[in-house]
Every structure is written in C-alpha cells, then in structure tokens.
Structure 1
Amino acid sequence: MQPLIWESRPDGLRAPALVCAFTGWNDAGDAASAALRFFGASLGATRFAQIDPEEFFDFQATRPRVEMVDGETREIQWPSVEIYEARIPRAPRDLVLLSGPEPSFRWRTFTRLIVDLAEALGTQMVVSLGALLADVPHSRPVGITGLSSDPTLIEGHELAPTTYEGPTGIVGILQAACSDAGIPSASLWASVPHYVAAAPNPKAALALVRKLESLVGVSVDAEELEVASADYERQVSLAVQSDPDVQAFVERLERTAAEEEEETDPTELPSGDVIAREFQRFLRQRGPEGPDIAGGR
C-alpha cells in the first residue's frame, strides 16, 4: 500500500501554501500543533489525505489508542499524519495543512513524500511551525525566530533570524528537503519558558498564529486563543508568586528581556500603516457575515 492515502483530490487550489506542524520534539508547550489546529478549525479545513503510519512510526514510542465507538465497539486509532485543505476565497491564497506526530523512522523518505505532495498540489511555499524551550519569561511578548530558504519570505515580518546549531527534528529535515527541491520555505519558531514546559502554552500558539497570518496573507479570528493566552499568563503568574525562588528567577529573566528590548531599533517595529493594513485585510476576508470558507467535516 502506498504511504500517502488520498481520500479526495483538492482541485483548483489557488496559490496554495503548505503549513506543517508536528507534535513531539519540535512542539514545546504544544504551541506549534495548537496553532495549526486553531488555524484549521477557524478556516473550516477538511481532510483530503493522510500518511499511513506503518513505515514511519515506532508504535512502542507513539502508541495506538483503543477507543469506544457508540459505547459498544472497541476501535484502534493509529497515529497518523493528516492533510487538510482550507479554501479562503477572500484571501490571496488557499492553504494545505499537515499535522501529526514527529515520525520515528525514514525521515528522508517521509520528507520526500511531503515534497512530492507539495509539488503535486502546485504549492508556492511551505511553512513549518515549531516551538522550543528557552530562557524567556512568560510575562513578556513571545519571541518568534524565523529561518527561510528565501530571505524575501521573512523580510518585513519582524522575524529574528536563528543562529541555532545542534540536533534537529523533522521540521529541520523538511526545511532542508524543500530547499533541495527548490520550493520556497520558511520555518517559524516560538520561544517557550522552560520553567513551565509541561503546560500547554496558548500564548506561544497565538504568537505563531499571528506571525503565520502575516507570512501567508490569511487572517483568522483569534479571540478564543487571546482569552486562553491571557488566562495562561495569569495562572502562571500566580504559580510563580507562590515560590520565592522561582519568582526571583523569573524577575531576572524579565530584566534581561527588558534590557534587550531597550537595545531594539525603533525603526524595526511595525508602523501604524502596516498594522492598519493587516486589520483591513482581516475585515475583507471575514466579509459581511464572517469567514467565507468551505464547510468542515
């Protein structure tokens, strides 16, 4: 059986961008996977294909689940990578969304499969989302770093370039595979406070959503994620205040972050005109009665 299982063929996609996120090593605080799920849900994305897990996953590390169906039948749910389409008539492009666990085996074969999919769909760019643990305070704006095979993709998007060297995950391998294939690609990474690594981080997910909106030219209503982000920051602040040692550590991180912000060139910040254009684009895409998108499934 072929590893890519088509359920339907998404014909007529307009200048599509392929956006990918994987759970696991690349997904601190579940931020990247949560950002992609939120984007898909907001746009009414529908699944059209999936990648069979047999060749790519260690089922002792990423175990299948047993679930009850109709309260009577037990059904095996295998880990899989799912692929969705989101059509947004008022936006300049449509999206293809790919999400699932980071594979255990055959990364070169796996990324070649994704590259082949991108080429078959006429994808104009591939964007991968990731999140990493860092010495950053939860109370400051989330830092987003960017890496791109095409510098013009991240110019004007207020992205700090990454200088990371070391072990990489499937996101890094996919970035290299797209570059080798000549497909414009970018990778967005959110910094997640390491002292709350175990908790889902909607604040980092929101930062990825906002940066992804800017990069692909597609806007979503993120009010729900904004509320979750504010609740997260409030709850973490309360927890930090209950431990003097942790509070002192976080205050040191905040001072360091403040010093770095003071050194930032004000001309690098987005202008009022840029902010206004982004807001107008969002209103156009929503239309008079909300988003005009294909129904979800």
Structure 2
Amino acid sequence: MTDPSVLYNITGELGNIPEGLDLVVGLTGFTDAGGAVGQIGDYILDNLSNRVIAEFDADELLDYRARRPIIYFDQDHLSDYQPPALRLYLVQDELNQPFLFLNGFEPDFRWEGFAASVVELIGRLSVKTTTSVHAIPMPVPHTRPIRVTVSGNRLELIDALSVWKPHTQVPANAMHLVEFRLQELGHPVAGFALLVPHYLADTEFPLAALASLESISAATGLIFPTDKLREEGRVFLTKIEEQVGTNGDLEKLVGTLEERHDAYMQGASMKSPLTDEDGELPSADEIAEELEKFLAIKRHGDNDQGSPLGL
C-alpha cells in the first residue's frame, strides 16, 4: 500500500503541538448548501489565530477541469493566480484553546489514500475527537432553527441533536469515507449534516454558518466569536421576510413547510419533517418555483443591495 504521507507535506513544526486536540473538518465540494462550510472556513481563519502545519497535494487529489482555479486578467497580462488548497491548521479559539482545522477542497481523486492520510495524521498528532460539518438542501422553512442529522459513534451527540435519522442510501463525500474508517478504528467521530432551506441553498446564508459553529461547539467545547454572524443572520432574515411577505403564494409555501416541520418536532406520526401526509418529498422545483417567479419580477426594481437570495 502507498505510504499515506505522500499525499501531504508537513509545513510547520509538529513537536510543539499538544496531544489530545480536537480535529474539526470542513471541506467544500459536492454540496455546501447556504455556503455553510465556505463561510466557516473564512470565518475561522479570518477571526482566529492560526498557522498551517500540513498541506495536501492538490495535483494528486483535485480535478482542475471540474473546479477550475481563479486567475486574474489584468488588462493585458495574467496575475494573482489562486491555487486551490487543502490544509491542516493549528488554531486557537476565542478562549485560546488550541484545535486542529482541516479546511479546503474535497478531493476528487484517491479517496482511500486521502482517508488513510487523515487517519495517519490523527494518530500522529494523537487527536482526541474528529468532528466534520457539511450542509445539504432540504425542504425546510427558514423561519425555524437549522436542524442537523448527526452520524458517527458519539451517541451522546446523536441522541441530543440529531432530529432526522433516515434509513437511506446517500451520495458519499470524502469525509464520509474518513468517518467510516475512524468508526472502524473506534476513534470518537461525529459528522454533522445541516438541513438548510432549499430555496436558500445557492446563497451565503449566515445562519447556516452559525449553525455549523454551534454544532462544532457542542461536539468539542470550543468557543467561537459569533456576534457578527448573528447580526448578519438577523439582517438576512429581515430581507427574506420582506420579500416573502409581499407574495401570498410564497407565504403559503413557507407556511406549509412550517406546519410539516412543527408537526414532526412535536412528535406527530409523520415519518419525516420533510414529507407531506402521504410521505412524499416535495420536489426542489416545487419548493423554489414561486420564489423564483417572484424574484424574477422583483429583480427589475431591486436596489443596489441586490437580493439576499443571491438570485
């Protein structure tokens, strides 16, 4: 078997890193509803003290043609190439508690090698727990708190926080494989899947980022500065309510989602907060159709601030 360490390079001194730190993982790629993972990556690295200690080899792991890097065209020449990165950081939270943060692109290639590399780093650094977050679009209302589905072997988190426990096949992401391998080894691991309103999936939804950080805090005890995100979330919701409140069809749609959500959370006999009385999932098109129509009309009168839905 190929040496797992060939997929990454150590860029910092490992000898002074304390043992028993928590590892937090946020990878962008297959799905990132509400921009949750992208936002927390920027938020953590912009607001907390950090340094890179390892970097994965993008040429081995990334399909550049599927996710093309950005380069700046400056009138008559190319400049400021932004290569994709997948890095392991040593970070300090708001109370100066250290933790490890694996952030960047989700690998396209060599998943088994990537999983083996992460498992090796976890053992090499004597990681205490591993917590990952990602976000998926679901037919849930924006007027209710963002809920989560929790996987892994930390039963206390699953019992306390996981509101939807389906028996189903799902498209895997790279961290699912890492989580599966860690479960086999008995390493404490939790994966949070945030259930983000489908009609907000293609924009940066601040409350999705906030829910991600709160999930990480619940799993690790880490403390994050969230005042800015909370204020951005309040402003965002105000704009959404202004738009929804002027269209009766949209109000009806959101009201239906609220009823299904609340019935499920109150322990009604429904199988899922995402289904109707017949157990059918409303399609993505049904959820977003009225919103798209309304915003297409309203776009003509938008001010310079644009739509908070990013449409």
- TM normalised by structure 1 equals 0.79
Q: Is the 8 A contact 1:22 1:100 kept in 2?
A: yes
Instruction: Give the counterpart of 2:194 among 155, 180, 190.
Output: 190
CA deviations 1:192-251 (Å, max 9, x no partner) are: 111122111111111121121121011122100101111221222223234433322111
User: How far 1:143 moved relative to its partner?
Assistant: 0.5
Q: Secondary structure at the match of 2:100?
A: strand
8 A Cα contact 1:157 1:211, kept in partner: no
Question: How many angstroms apart in 1 are the aligned matches of 2:201 and 2:107?
Answer: 22
The CA deviation at 1:3 is 2.5
2:180 aligned to 165, 176, 181, which one? 176
Gap change, CA 1:195 and 1:155, over 3 Å in 2: closer
CA contact (8 A) 1:131 1:189 kept: yes
How do 1:113-192 and structure 2 match up within 5 A? 113-152=117-156, 154=157, 157-160=160-163, 162-163=165-166, 164-192=168-196
2:204 is paired with a residue of what secondary structure? coil
| Greater shift in the superposed pair: 38-47 or 247-256 | 38-47
How far did residue 166 of structure 1 move?
2.2
What does residue 278 of structure 1 align with? Answer: none
The 1-side partners of 2:18 and 2:123 are apart by 13
Letter in 2 for 1:27: D
Is the 2:21–2:126 Cα contact (8 Å) retained in structure 1?
A: yes
Residues 1:84 and 2:89 are matched in the alignment: yes
> Counterpart of 1:2 in 2: which secondary structure?
helix
Distance in 1 separating the partners of 2:228 and 2:42: 13
Max radius of gyration: which structure? Answer: 2
Tell me the TM-score normalised to structure 2 length: 0.76
Q: Distance in 2 between matches of 1:210 and 1:20?
A: 14
CA deviation digits over 1:161-191, x for unaligned, max 9? 5324222212211211222333211001111
Instruction: Tell me if 1:101 matches 2:101.
Output: no
**1:88 & 1:132 partners in 2: Cα distance?**
26
Structure 1 letter corresponding to 2:86: V
**Shift of residue 68 of structure 1?**
7.6
**SS state at 1:160 partner:** coil
Q: Does structure 2 retain, via aligned residues, the 8 Å contact 1:16–1:123?
A: yes
Query: Take 1:67 and 1:177, find their aligned partners in 2: how far apart are those partners?
Result: 40
Q: Which runs of 5+ in 2 are unaligned?
A: 269-311
1:260 is aligned to 2:264: yes
Where does residue 291 of structure 1 map in the other structure? none
Change (3 A) 1:125 1:197: same
- AA of the residue aligned to 1:48: I
More displaced, 40-49 or 137-146?
40-49
Gaps of 5+ in 1: 265-297
1:55 aligns with 2:60: yes
What do the CA deviations read for 1:86-140 (whole angstroms, capped 9, x no partner)?
145957x631001111221111111111111111111111111010111100111
Does the CA contact (< 8 Å) of 1:17 and 1:95 recur in 2? yes
Q: Could you tell me which of 51, 55, 61 is aligned with 1:46? A: 51
Give me the CA root mean square deviation: 2.6
Distance 2:249 2:148 in 1: 28
**Bigger relative CO (Cα 8 Å, ≥ 6 apart):** 1
Q: Per-residue displacement from partner, 1:244-286 (whole Å, max 9, x unpaired)?
A: 333221110012222233339xxxxxxxxxxxxxxxxxxxxxx
CA contact (8 A) 2:7 2:60 kept: yes
Give the aligned residue type for 2:21: P
**How many percent of aligned residue pairs carry the same amino acid?**
23
SS in 2 for 1:54: helix
Identify which range, 189-198 or 34-43, moves more after superposition. 34-43
Q: How many residues align?
A: 261
SS class of match (1:108): helix
CA contact (8 A) 2:150 2:161 kept: no
C-alpha deviation, 1:75, in angstroms: 4.0
SS at match of 1:50: strand
Residue in 1 that maps onto 2:304: none
Equivalent pair of 1:15/1:94 in contact (CA under 8 Å): no
Following the alignment from structure 1 to structure 2, what is the Cα–Cα distance between the partners of residues 36 and 167? Answer: 23
Counterpart Cα distance in 2 of 1:3 and 1:114:
10
For residues 27 and 73 of structure 1, what CA distance do their matches in structure 2 show? 30
